Amino acid sequence: MRLTYNSTLYKIRCVLRFLWARVYYRGRFRCPELSMIGSGCGIHIFEGGLIHCRGRIIVNDQVMLYAKGELRIGERFYTNRYTRIVAHERIEIGRNVTLGQMVTILDHDHDYVFEGPDMKLEGYRTAPVVIGNNIWMGDKCTILKGVTIGDNVVIGANTLVHKDVPSNSVIGGVPFKILKTLTPEPQKQ
């Protein structure tokens, strides 16, 4: 039997993976609403690590969520295939955030020293990452340690985010440039 993408059976399996992850990691994977985790996902929560979701999340196929530190995810979070989010210290993602395929979010760099001609890895250097509300990241974006991204930001495909991004911006490039400033419409009451 062929499993069709987004078929009812596919969705049931995604919900079962989510429920299994909650049971397996007990209190270290917190999510108050029924969510979906696609096939082939790696959810790794190490001792002292935590993944805390504030609402429903949809994690597509082949995504890696890795928490040695804290990974906090807001409501209405969606990530596409092959995305990787690695929290050694803390990554905080706001509400209404959508990630394209192959997005990488890291709160660390490798630390290294040279011993003679040889390079030796000596752990990590970390700095928290904060991603605001109403964010859309195109395919293959990379977010590096210590970055804060404001609210209402669109990040173009293949963008390297190595420093803070102001709210209400469209950015793109390597290194990124502000391509446009957005004017959000006032909320209707």
Strand ranges of the sheet holding 177-181, from the earlier edge strand across to the other edge: 36-37, 57-59, 77-79, 97-99, 135-137, 153-155, 169-172, 177-181
SS (H, E, C) 127-143: CCEEECCCEEECCCCEE
Calculate the alpha carbon distances from 95 to 92, 134, 151 in Å: 10, 6, 10
Structure tokens of 162? 């190595």
Task: State both tokens at 86.
Answer: 């690695």
The question of whether 88 is a catalytic residue gets the answer no
The residues, ordered by sequence, that sit 6+ positions from 15 with a Cβ below 8 Å of its Cβ are: 34, 35, 36
3-state secondary structure of 187: coil
Choose the catalytic residue: 52, 88, 108, 110: 110
Question: Catalytic positions, please?
Answer: 110
